[in-house]
Homo-oligomer: A and B are copies of this chain.
Amino acid sequence: MQISEVAKLAGVSSATVSRHMSGGRVRRAEEIAVAISQLNYRPNPNARGLRSGRQRCVGVIVPDITNPFFSDLVGGVETVLAQQGIRVLLANSNEDLAMEASMVADLVDRTDGLILFPPTETDRILDEFVDESVPVVLVDRTMRDSKRADVVLVDNAAGASMAADHLVALGHRRLGMISGPATNTPGRERHDAFLAASASGGDSSVSVQVVVSDFRVEGGYAAMTELLSASPPITCVFSANNLMTVGALRALADHGVSVPDEISIVGFDDLDLADLLASPLTVIDRPSDELGSIAASLLLQRIQDPGREFQYIRLPVSLLVRASTAPPLSISAEPRRRDNHDNH
């Protein structure tokens, strides 16, 4: 089924059908519409893209689609783009730099723009592709040379500081942190800010024990397990993302550590069930779908006007205090129990 058959049936040339389809004013619009629906005609996207250079869709490459933060964010992207009749093609890089590069290479010529979450800040992806005039918006993570893309992220430093301040204000002095990789933006910023904020009070009795992990559930489990053997023991922990928080909670449960009595925990990113947990979770919350909708708007605007100034947007985060954080048990209490047998 091709455009020439529609043209024949409607009694016009294929160019006229083409014009009609792209919104142009045409005399025999009615007949063309009838022919199109009668023949169930769908323009071939390859031919169309090849000829016009416009693909009518954008690509989104997320690091982990099973992370609810990213899937919520994609929801925000889709909402904005669907209104413009622009399709969203989603791909999942699994936090893998090579995979991301190959996906970009693939999508760059199939789409009108890309929304990326670079796995590392040293990612050279813009060097390779941005010169090919594909608009790129970076979300949640930047890159060393991100001066050539729009960027939208949250105030990771503020979030991590709020977490540290909250714990210190509760009276905690021996803090634990499950950090993300220092190689990407949220990992680095949350790590640095948590340490800085912990030290900022000038109280030299405040110490932070950091385990660097990988933003995954299993990594959070392992990191929490490691932190439990710290000596002197920590009384609270800050987990730098939602997935690691899940792992940390499971590790705490498996080791019989009670929250918040023995250990307080605050996570970065809210969880759907945070309020229904055995200890409702205190978290740093951030507006995930707003991140997505802003990213989509930025991309839309850049597609329309490639010459406009690059935007760099930071959204605020907030502290949601629930029941997983509390003052530490008195130091005079007897040493807490720590059974290190893994029971899965």
Which A residues form the contact surface with B (CB < 8 A)?
A: 40, 42, 44-47, 49-50, 55, 57, 65-66, 68, 71-72, 74-75, 78, 82, 87-92, 94, 99, 103, 105-106, 108-110, 128, 217, 246, 249-250, 253, 271-273, 275-278
Contact = CB atoms under 8 A, between A and B. Distances in A.
Query: How many subunits of this chain does the assembly comprise?
Result: 2
Contacts of A249: 273, 276
Contact of A91 (B88, B103, B272, B273): B88
A65 B68 CA distance: 9
Nearest to A68: B66
Contacts of A128: 40
Contact of A109 (B40, B46, B72, B250): B46
Given A92-B90, A271-B273, A46 B42 contact: no
A92 B87 contact: no
Nearest to A79: B94
Contacts of A49: 46
Given A66-B68, A249-B276, 6 more contacts: A66-B71, A75-B92, A82-B99, A253-B275, A271-B273, A277-B278
Contact of A42 (B71, B75, B82, B105): B105
A273 B253 contact: no
Nearest to A252: B276
25 contacts: A42-B108, A45-B46, A45-B106, A46-B46, A46-B49, A46-B50, A46-B110, A57-B106, A65-B74, A66-B68, A66-B71, A82-B99, A88-B91, A89-B90, A89-B91, A90-B91, A90-B92, A110-B110, A217-B272, A249-B273, A250-B276, A273-B277, A276-B278, A277-B277, A277-B278
